[in-house]
Structure formats: structure tokens, C-alpha cells
Structure 1
Amino acid sequence: MPSATMEYPMSDYRYAFLEPGHFARGWHIVRFSRELAVGEVQRLHYFNRDLVLFRGESGAAAVVDAHCPHLGAHLASDGGRLIGDTIACPFHGWTFAGDGECVSIPYAGKIPDKARRALRGWPLLEKNGFISLWYDPDDNPPEDYLPDISAWGPDSWGDWHFHRSRIRAQPCDVIENIVDIAHFPHVHGGEVRAFENRFGERTVTQLSTVDRSANAQMVIPPDLPFDLQAMSQQAVEQRSDAWGDATYHGPAIMYYYTEVRSELMSFSSWWVNYHTPVNDEEVDLCSAVILNSLTDEPLPAEFVELYAQTAHAAFGQDVEIWKDKVFRADPILCDGDGPINKLRRWYEQFYLPLAG
């Protein structure tokens, strides 16, 4: 049954991304690197699938389908059993490499040919301090479109400060934010001074300058551990100068670089925002940040953590709208809206079969 955020009839979808059980081809972040230790096995559930993530003794991470092709045991039962860089089923000991190949059956003289590739392994990319899974139901090879973030790492700005939440929303709702100029003064308390979108083959970019405004409206997410309204008012009084460059690389991972200058504090920041589909109803939504001072004064640790919380709260403002909106497949738009239909046509490519 389609989500409450869908309105289009099941028999007549205008866009492939509205079809239940259909998820975007591309890279999707499933964990940050520090969340998975060597020798650790974790259960995942994304794309309506049970998956197992593990890191073998070499340090390489892997994701395979969760259930053994033998008699269906979950490979993470009993905490999972790793042997070197392989994972063994806790039921009968069938052992699989990170790409899903069956490499051992301890009580068999020969591995059946049918068993060798019976378990699906998923391509992974670990870089910039996060672990991304390549999802493609048609098994096309992964594409190389995720850039390096040279500022990340122990010898530079440090590791990510991140906040993740599971929300009821559609991926198409999340990604439309990149072109939605008109929602800033109603949801985020901002007044847009400059705004531009640029489209590439696998990228869409937002170049924006948004000022805090006392006259703008703001959505306040519930249960925040800080006073978002007071912080916004403080930003208005400080008259900070800020600009940002946000780019979706593929359908689900956004890099955002921003610089903020004020009398109180001046800093630059990289964000990684991602949404990974859990099922037809939910996504894992996450905001991660690293910061660097633009002056000789180091940034206070408490400010860095608070900034990470406010970054995720900014998405929380949108969540309050997404959770009970419907999706208009044929919206009535005006000349002040951003290029919403162009964005949808760009986004559709990740749901359609590759040409050729």
C-alpha cells in the first residue's frame, strides 16, 4: 500500500520514483566508519531487505543479504561469526566472502555449483569516513561519482559529528528541498538573498545566500534539546554573513560547504546529508558536520556539537511538513517557485533502466 505522502493512483504513476518497492539506483550511506569496528557484525534493514554488515580482520567492510541460502538462518544470529574476512552461518557453518561467494561448507566434500553465488553481496564504498552501499536491482556496475572531502580526517578537521533519525517520508520529498527556494521564509526563518540551481548528469547544486530574518516564519520541531527560536533570534541580532554550496551527488547523498562570519564566531563547515530508504514508508535521515575556524581562535567543543544538532534540526523543520503532506505529481506552480519539475525529471533517471 502506498505511503500517505503519495496521492497518485497505483495504476497510473507519472513518475517511476512513486512506484512502491522501487528504490533509487546509486550510492546510499548505511553507516559512518567509526560505527563499525573490526570483527563486528551488524543487522541492517534497507530497501525492504534484511542485510548484514560486517568488518573482517583486514579492516574491509562488506554487506550481504541477511539470510543463508541453505536453510534461511540469519547470518547475524548469535551475534554473527566472522572467520578472517568471511562470515559463517551460525546454523550449519556455511561460510561466505564479502561478495557473497560461498567459500566453505565444513561438512561437504564439494560446494554445490548452485550454492557458490546464491548469496547476494552488495558493492560498498568506504571513503570520507562513511560506508556507502551501491543499490541497483539490475546489477549494473557501480558508478564513480562521490568526490573526496579532503577536509575530513584526523589530520585535518576531524571526524563527523552526526545525528540520524528514522522518519516517515518519501525520498522524493527530501530531494526536492535542493530547488525549493520559496520555503525558506516559512519553514527555516530565512530570507533568501541569492539562489541558483545548476544541473549536471549525476549532480544538482544549490548556490544560496540566506539571511536570518525576524520577519520570517519558522517551524519548530518538537523535543529539541535547545531553544531554536532563541538561537535564530540571536543569529538575527549578530547579523552574520553566510553562504553555502550544496550538491547532491546521485539520488541520496548531499555535500554542503558553508562559511559563516559574525562578530561572535567565524567558521567554515562541511555537511554530509543523506537519506537512505528503509521501506516504502520510511527513510533514515542523517546530518553530519565537520567544522573549522576561520580565525586563529579554535572553535569551542560545545559549539561544534550544538552546531551538529542544529544542522539536523534544520531537516527536522522539513520533517514536520513531510510527515503529513501529500505528493502532488502534477503541482500548480508559479514563477516564484524553483525548478521543481526539472528536478523531478533529473531524479527520475535513478529509477529508470539504463539506456542500452
Structure 2
Amino acid sequence: MKPTGWFQIGWSAEIAPGATKAMKYFGEDMVAFRTEDGKLVVMDAHCKHLGAHLAYGGKVKGDCIACPYHGWEWNSQGANIHVPYQDKPTGAKLRTRHIIERHGIIFMWHDPAGGAPREGWELPDLFTGVPQVPAREEDFYPCYPHAVVDKPGERIHPQMVVENAPDTTHFHFTHGTPECPELLWFDTSDGSWRSEMGFKSPKTKEVALSLYTLAPCISLSFTIFNGQSVKYRLILTATPVDEETSDFRVNYFFPRDPASPDVMPESLRAFARQTVELFEEDARMWRHQIFVQRPVFAKQDIAGYTAMRKWSERFYEAAEGPTPMRAVEAL
């Protein structure tokens, strides 16, 4: 439950300038706060003086958060810069996290060893990251707050997010599509998982709807539905909270309606509300599913699933615990 990569920890609009929020991910208590000039900061939650949680009663002052217990101030770099009742600060530091805000979503880098984001592990852009179907973000409605699914505290491993990428047959049996798509290609040469599934027209037998997937790590799946009448994008995320649970979120981006470019129409909001059931169709499987280390594959599964499992190994760097291709007994 401690893979390396980028993870969603919330939405930007949840934290206004001067606001704070308590968070817990990877078994660690954190405080998020936005400075008065708009910078988002995420750091260790507990003041190093006597352990107060900075999110509960802490006040934002400029680019600092002041402890509610004794007023010690910690700046956006995590440094103690002010103790109200002595001449000099202590020099103590709280660990800060590497944050990217993109598409109205807050992403946090996690490395079990505490390292910084690495070259070659960049967070992709939903609108420019898939060269086959480039788009402009301004042509889509923001996902938050009307087109998101929020499922905190699920007893589901984040690996389940990417296990769907090569899985063509579940569309029919789990989601009820008339036909199963075909996995047209997949590629992991740049460090990410990239693939295309094609839903063929029953009449023409030609691909009528393509589903492109870009997964930069096991916790994120960027998906583009591209057909003549279906053109929307989503980001599915899973972020471990502790050794047993993860927060799952789905973020939908719908093309703007020229008749209502500034306000998402109720028809799209209604569709977005129905996407909760789409998530549940998968989650009802995931909540009771075990991870099969050496699956018995159908012939059409072998190439995609084997590539997926091999690719996902790179994100499990912690010394302890099993990985998708290696059982714990072998460690």
C-alpha cells in the first residue's frame, strides 16, 4: 500500500486562501493549507513543539500556519520561523510534500524513501498527453464540483485501477455493453501505460468508439472516450490512506455546450450523477476480490495482462510486502 508515483489528495476548490484541511495518506497525518496569496502547502500535521495537529484550529498568517496550541508559526517550506514568546525561532522543520494542481485536482508525489519527483515520472496532462486525440482544456467544463465521484475509505488496493486497462471482456459482463471491445494496442516504452480499446459497430465492423488509456502510475488512469457522438474524458484515482484502505475518486470532463458555455447543463449534471453507479459496478467486484498472483488466463488476456503486471512492478519500491509479480513468501 506504499507505491511510488502521483496521487490525488483532493480538489483545488476545496481549500480557499487562508483555509486548512486535515489529511491522512500512506499512514501519515498531514495538514493542507493555502497561503493568503494562493499557494497550496501540504506538510506534516503535528507541531514539533508539543504535537498539536495544525489543521484543527491552526490559523493561516501570510505564507505560514500558526499552531493553535502555542502560536508557533511554520512557513510554506516547513520551517519554524516564529515563536511568540522568544526572540528567535527554533530552526525545526516539518516535512513538506511535492504538490501539483492541475485540472482543478490536487496531486501529491509519494516516494516511500522520501525522495523528490523524478525525471521520467512526470504527471501527464489529460488534454495534451494522448497525441492521438489532443484537445484544449478550456473547451471542457471543470470536473469539480458537479462531475466527480468521491469514495473515501474503500478497502480496495489501488492496483485495481490499472488492472482494468487491458481488460476488454468485463465491459460486457460487468457494465452490460452489447459487445466487448478489442485491445488494439498497448505500449509501456516511455514508462507509462498507454493503450487503445476499440468498440466496433455491429453493422460496419469498424471501430466506432475508441477508449484511450494513459496511466502514469498504478494510482492514476487518464481515460478518453472518443467517438462520433461520445467525447469525454476522465481521471480515475486511488490513494492509499493506510495499510487497508484507499480513497477513490473519478473526475469527469465533458465538452462545453455552446448554448451554455459557462454553466454545466442539468442534462450533463444528471449524467454525472449516474456515473456513481458506473463506479459501483466495478467496486462491487473490487471490494470482495482477491489478488491472484498467477492467474489462469484466457488466450486473449495473456499479452495485455502480462505486460500490465510487469509494468506495474516499477512502482513497488518498498522493501516489504508482495508485488504484482512476486509473492510475499519469495521476499
Return the TM-score normalized by structure 2: 0.81
1:99/1:163 Cα in 2 relative to 1: closer, same or farther (>3 Å)? same
Does the aligned pair in 2 maintain the 1:29–1:131 contact within 8 Å?
yes
Q: Does 1:284 align with 2:247?
A: yes
Does the aligned pair in 1 maintain the 2:169–2:181 contact within 8 Å?
no
Report the Cα distance in structure 2 between the residues aligned to 1:286 and 1:309, rounded to whole angstroms: 13
Q: What is the aligned counterpart of 2:66 among 88, 92, 95?
A: 88
Report the Cα distance in structure 1 between the residues aligned to 2:276 and 2:165, rounded to whole angstroms: 16
Amino acid paired to 1:290? F
Q: What is the aligned counterpart of 1:271 among 211, 234, 237?
A: 234
Does the aligned pair in 2 maintain the 1:205–1:248 contact within 8 Å?
yes
1:86/1:298 Cα in 2 relative to 1: closer, same or farther (>3 Å)? closer
Q: What is the aligned counterpart of 2:21 among 42, 60, 65?
A: 42
Amino acid paired to 1:307? F
Matches within 5 A, 1:24-103: 24-78=3-57, 80-103=58-81
Matches within 5 A, 1:125-144: 125-143=100-118
Matched residue SS, 1:349:
helix
Q: Does 1:148 align with 2:133?
A: no
Amino acid paired to 2:169? A
Report the Cα distance in structure 2 between the residues aligned to 1:267 and 1:34, rounded to whole angstroms: 28
Matches within 5 A, 1:244-259: 244-259=211-226
Does the aligned pair in 1 maintain the 2:218–2:312 contact within 8 Å?
yes
Amino acid paired to 1:139? G
C-alpha deviation, 1:194, in angstroms: 2.5
Q: What is the aligned counterpart of 2:285 among 314, 317, 321?
A: 321
Does the aligned pair in 1 maintain the 2:168–2:182 contact within 8 Å?
no
Report the Cα distance in structure 2 between the residues aligned to 1:200 and 1:252, rounded to whole angstroms: 19
Does the aligned pair in 2 maintain the 1:52–1:64 contact within 8 Å?
yes
Amino acid paired to 2:124? P
5+ long unaligned stretches in structure 2: 128-134, 320-331
Q: Does 1:204 align with 2:193?
A: yes
Q: Which residue of 1 aligns with 2:307?
A: 342
Amino acid paired to 1:90? P
Report the Cα distance in structure 1 between the residues aligned to 2:17 and 2:62, rounded to whole angstroms: 10
C-alpha deviation, 1:309, in angstroms: 2.9
1:152/1:302 Cα in 2 relative to 1: closer, same or farther (>3 Å)? farther
Does the aligned pair in 1 maintain the 2:3–2:110 contact within 8 Å?
yes
Report the Cα distance in structure 2 between the residues aligned to 1:55 and 1:256, rounded to whole angstroms: 30
Amino acid paired to 1:308? A
Identity %: 28
1:304/1:241 Cα in 2 relative to 1: closer, same or farther (>3 Å)? farther
Q: Which residue of 1 aligns with 2:323?
A: none
Does the aligned pair in 2 maintain the 1:33–1:131 contact within 8 Å?
yes
Report the Cα distance in structure 2 between the residues aligned to 1:319 and 1:152, rounded to whole angstroms: 31
Where relative contact order (Cα < 8 A, 6+ residues apart) is larger, the structure is 1
Of the structure 1 ranges 301-310 and 270-279, higher mean CA displacement relative to structure 2 is found in 301-310
Count of residue pairs brought into register by the alignment:
297
Matched residue SS, 1:292:
coil
C-alpha deviation, 1:185, in angstroms: 1.8
- What stretches of structure 1 move > 6 A for 4+ residues in a row? 295-300
Report the Cα distance in structure 1 between the residues aligned to 2:275 and 2:187, rounded to whole angstroms: 23
1:73/1:297 Cα in 2 relative to 1: closer, same or farther (>3 Å)? closer
C-alpha deviation, 1:210, in angstroms: 3.1
Matches within 5 A, 1:149-298: 149-150=126-127, 155-160=138-143, 161-166=147-152, 167-190=154-177, 191-195=179-183, 196-210=185-199, 241-261=208-228, 266-292=229-255
Report the Cα distance in structure 1 between the residues aligned to 2:214 and 2:291, rounded to whole angstroms: 23
Does the aligned pair in 2 maintain the 1:163–1:288 contact within 8 Å?
yes
1:232-252 deviations in whole A, cap 9, x for unaligned? Answer: xxxxxxxx9422211112221
Does the aligned pair in 2 maintain the 1:252–1:274 contact within 8 Å?
yes
C-alpha deviation, 1:56, in angstroms: 0.7
C-alpha deviation, 1:297, in angstroms: 6.8
Q: What is the aligned counterpart of 2:295 among 326, 331, 347?
A: 331
C-alpha deviation, 1:120, in angstroms: 1.2
Does the aligned pair in 2 maintain the 1:152–1:159 contact within 8 Å?
no
Report the Cα distance in structure 2 between the residues aligned to 1:91 and 1:200, rounded to whole angstroms: 51
1:267/1:131 Cα in 2 relative to 1: closer, same or farther (>3 Å)? same
Return the TM-score normalized by structure 1: 0.76
